[in-house]
Amino acid sequence: MERIDFINIRRLQWCCDEVGIDVEALAEQTGISASTLKKLFEGKGGLTYNQLKTLADFFGKGVFFFLEEGDVTQERVHSANFRTLSNQKPYLSLDMRKFIERVERKRDEYLWLLEELEGTQPDFELPELRGSIEEKALQLRRWLELPERNSYESYREAIESKGIFVLQSLGYQGKWKIPKESPVLGFSLWHQKMPVIVVRKETTKERQTFTLIHEFAHLVLHQESRIDDENDLFANNHDVESEANRFAGNLLIPESFLTQIDTRNIPNSFDEYSDWFKSFRKRWGVSTEVILRRLVDTQRVDVVLYRAYRDWLGHQNLPQSSGGHRHRNREPLHIFGTKYVQKVLDAKNFDVITLYKASKFLDGLKINYLHQLEGHLVGNR
What's the chain look like in SS3?
CCEECCCCHHHHHHHHHHHCCCHHHHHHHHCCCHHHHHHHHCCCCCEEHHHHHHHHHHHCCCHHHHCCCCCCCHHHHCCHHHHHHHHHCCCCCHHHHHHHHHHHHHHHHHHHHHHHHHCCCCCCCCCCCCCCHHHHHHHHHHHCCCCCCCCHHHHHHHHHCCCCEEEECCCCCCCCCCCCCCCEEEEEECCCCCCEEEECCCCCHHHHHHHHHHHHHHHHHHCCCEEEEHHHHCCCCCCHHHHHHHHHHHHHCCHHHHCCCCHHHCCCCHHHHHHHCHHHHHHHCCCHHHHHHHHHHCCCCCHHHHHHHHHHHHCCCCCCCCCCCCCHHHHHHHHHCHHHHHHHHHHHHCCCCCHHHHHHHCCCCCHHHHHHHHHHHHHCC
**pLDDT tens digits for range 164-215:** 999 999 887 788 999 888 999 999 999 999 999 999 999 889 999 999 999 9
pTM beyond 0.75, yes or no:
yes
Mean pLDDT (the chain, rounded): 90
Q: Which residue has the higher pLDDT, 104 or 321?
A: 104
Average pLDDT over residues 325-338: 87
Structure confidence at residue 70 as a pLDDT band (50, 70, 90): confident
Q: What is the pLDDT of residues 134-169, one digit of tens each?
A: 999 999 999 999 999 999 999 999 999 999 999 999
- pLDDT computed for residue 172 by the predictor: 77
pLDDT of residue 325: 52
